Copies of this chain bind each other. A is one copy, B any other.
Amino acid sequence: MPNATMPIETSLSSRELELVDAWWRAANYLSVGQIYLLDNPLLKEPLELKHIKPRLLGHWGTTPGLNFVYVHLNRAIKARSLDMIYIAGPGHGGPGVVANAWLEGTYSEIYPHVPQTEAGMQRLFKQFSFPGGIPSHAAPETPGSMHEGGELGYSLSHAYGAVFDNPKLIASCVVGDGEAETGPLATSWHSNKFLDPVTDGAVLPILHLNGYKIANPTILARIGSDELCSLITGYGYEPHIVEGDDPKIVHRLMASTVDTVLDKIQYIQTEARAGRMQGRPRWPMIILKTPKGWTGPKEVDGLRTEGYWRSHQVPFAEMAAKPAHVKLLEHWMKSYRPEELFDDRGALRPEIAALAPSGDLRMSANPHANGTLPMRELDLPDIKSYAIEIKRPGKQDAESTTVLAAYLRDVLRGSAASRNFRLFGPDEIASNRLSRIFEATDRAWDAERLSYDDHLAPEGRAMEILSEHTCQGWLEGYLLTGRHGVFTCYEAFIHIVDSMFNQHAKWLKTIREIPWRRPIPSLNYLLTSHVWRQDHNGFSHQDPGFIDYVCNKKAEIVRVYLPPDANSLLFVMDHCLRSWNRVNVVVAGKQPAPQWLSMDQAIKHCSSGIGIWEWASNDRGIEPDVVMACAGDVPTLETLAAVDLLRRHLPDLKIRVVNVVDLMTLQPQTDHPHGLPDRDFDALFTTNKPVIFAHHSYPSLIHRLTYRRTNHDNFHVHGYREEGTTTTPFDMVVRNRLDRYHLAADVIDRVPKLGYVAAYAKQAIRDRLTEHEAYIRQHGEDMPEVREWRWTPVDPNLSGD
């Protein structure tokens, strides 16, 4: 039988426990008040219908448990001067988290219109889940919260992200037993294998088994204690069970258990930091088993409520139709004996208030959670030191991510002392050709190590776990506490965290409107091994749609960059690492590919985000016959190859090449701050010439961004048409008609009056396609004509600036 401990002794005096209970009752009282009351906050008058909200919204079930944990942690924080944050996995229990912030005084400091008075309490109650008020969950508006908890599953990975490189911090993390069923939560327990007791802080998971979800029992509450403790032991923790429904007994148990686990955490940290610990420590955690909706009504209308799913949301409503419910509510609220908790003016009695830690030690005021620490920018190296020298566009090849890796290595070196930058990836850092970062750091790893292991160390700042969810959750926690990072991922599989991105973008949107929250570093995605070069892994690995997906979010939040070569990638990533409150999505290939822009050109081009490549165009001084636009590295390559082809076949055709790095420039200025003014857009794309646009992802994205532009009807977009398999790189573009031949043929089709030469050219192009198909089926690789193609300068005297 696994080692679970059930202590019943505590050194706390009865008086201390009474005060702890009083705080808990106060928090519960305020929680119920927020869910139900419009007015009469202290119940000085008999409760009437007019005091009750017409729409009852909120989640009671999880709240008393959250309040219970909160006060017990508070006691320990005060006794031990701990730097601790509170993560409420069941974020639905918003009223509880808000109640505690108000009791601690933080709420009124931040929101002076909600003072610790009777009037303030009335506002506290009314505003909850009320139009113009505050949300029903622990949200960005909630002091002390760095975790929304509306979408479940990410509390533990957020907690770990928060304590990486924060050696003094303890993240207490309440994991709901509903949330515990999600996949992301289930695997995030393993984060303990990535935590260094020396350089990182600690996480204290508190698995709250209240037994029910919305309408079902929870799995972990129904497998028996033995099996549950086996599971937790298997996850590498030491479980401590606190179980019961009699508050007196459970207070004693909890106080004693909190002391035990904090002692254990302190012991581990002291030993490890003194160099006396070998191997991965077995961190303690708490299993708290108390009834759902604890202290709420046992029955409503004869139906089981406390300790049952009926407590999940609002335990009873229909206040107008059932006057007995009004009485029930009054009875319930009075069961907390508010008169013992608050004085006549609504202030918490001083002996209870004294339980709270002071200043920044209050969990609701912790600067890590509230983003109120001084902003610490990264010390970034000069991108010019990593630039590829470009003698002539397209002359030499490079791997964009390999070039970037040297830069990232030095970002890691530059942050070695401040330890405020990490790289995250699902076991793909090496595959994505970023291995040079291991010259500066190791992979974080605190599980078993073998002699022949490769760059594994507890204090490493490269985080690799085969879980995109955990990578994203860790990084979010790291950013939300003011540090910097990059998530590198295969492009197709970043969809795994679509919904996590979604929630983070919502958080960012919201904090822009909250003055007391400082900006946080941007969430940077480096998507590589992208759709056009997953020819060896096949269809399952081919999906460029993440950038389509992110464009649905608020324009102020989202940026999408498609750097066409290595120097552009350097500029873009450097730019992203200097930004705040954004989600930056950067898509770049890892395979050897032609390089186009010198560093100076790249800086100029990427700063604009879009521009004409004069050196590739032959329309100087006159209107072009056609605009060939491109966004993304492979589309750029194919566009230039098509230009080359057309120049040979149709030398009189005037072609303008426009390259797009910052996709947001295509949108109208009214829709996005980066959007080009219409006049500038028209100057680039003309108002009436055909535009053959080679795009990295689905063609519809370009139409969606440009449909309001003057020349939109002439846009013909080539992109991913959801055609893929295991094949050659060039066959991938051919299957999706993004290749040079299809692009050139489309130009011939769209430009009017090209005559018989064009017809001849088109036939030649068609023949090459047929030949290509036959060639690859015989040889298994692309035709030399394609593999060895090199750009020929339009004007040999034009060096490219």
Contacts and interface: CB of A to CB of B under 8 A. Distances in A.
B231 A234 contact: yes
A654 interface: no
Contact of A186 (B187, B213, B449): B187
Given A54-B781, A152-B466, A469-B183, A137 B540 contact: yes
Contacts of A152: 466
Contacts of A131: 727-728, 731, 776-777, 780
Given A57-B726, A150-B540, A235 B224 contact: no
Which of A136, A185, A553 has the most chain B CB within a 10 Å cutoff? A136
A578 interface: no
Contact of A726 (B135, B541, B727): B135
A63 to B, nearest CB: 15
A691 to B, nearest CB: 14
Interface in A422-470: 427-431, 443, 445, 447-450, 452-454, 456, 464-470
Contacts of A185: 183, 187
Interface in A723-748: 725-728, 731
Contacts of A11: none
Interface string A475-487: 0000000000000
A55 interface: yes
Most buried by B among A428, A447, A777: A447
Contacts of A470: 181, 183
Interface string A378-418: 00000000000000000000000000000000000000000
Contacts of A622: none
B781 A135 contact: no
Interface stretch (A352-360, A503-511, A517-525, A608-616): A503-511
A69 to B, nearest CB: 21
Nearest to A450: B217
A492 interface: yes
Contacts of A137: 537-538, 540
A215 B454 contact: yes
Contacts of A727: 131-132
Given A129-B536, A129-B726, 14 more contacts: A130-B726, A137-B540, A151-B493, A181-B466, A182-B468, A183-B187, A183-B470, A186-B186, A215-B454, A216-B445, A223-B236, A232-B234, A309-B454, A703-B707
A16 interface: no
A178 interface: yes
B217 A447 contact: yes
Interface stretch (A284-292, A323-331, A542-550, A581-589): A542-550
Given A183-B470, A186-B183, A495-B502, A228 B219 contact: no
Contacts of A134: 726
A233 B235 CA distance: 11
Nearest to A133: B726
19 contacts: A2-B230, A55-B728, A92-B537, A129-B536, A132-B727, A136-B726, A139-B539, A150-B537, A153-B183, A183-B185, A183-B187, A217-B448, A217-B453, A222-B449, A223-B447, A230-B230, A234-B235, A502-B545, A703-B703
Nearest to A304: B452
A129 B539 CA distance: 12
Interface string A150-182: 111100000000000000000000000011011
A182 B728 contact: no
A298 interface: no
Nearest to A153: B183
A378 B714 CA distance: 48
A135 B725 contact: yes
Contacts of A193: 219, 222-223
B181 A216 contact: no
A722 interface: yes
A428 B779 contact: no
A776 B776 CA distance: 67
A308 interface: yes
Interface in A90-137: 91-92, 126, 129-137
B186 A151 contact: no
A739 to B, nearest CB: 14
A182 B712 contact: no
Closest 3 CB pairs of A and B: A150-B540, A231-B234, A183-B183
Nearest to A777: B132
Contacts of A92: 537
A258 interface: no
A148 interface: yes
Nearest to A232: B234
Given A427-B216, A447-B217, A139 B538 contact: yes
A346 interface: no
A499 interface: yes
Nearest to A140: B539
Nearest to A58: B536
A790 interface: no
Interface in A51-89: 53-55, 57
A503 B496 CA distance: 11
Contacts of A770: none
Interface in A176-226: 178-179, 181-188, 190, 193, 213-219, 222-224
A552 interface: yes
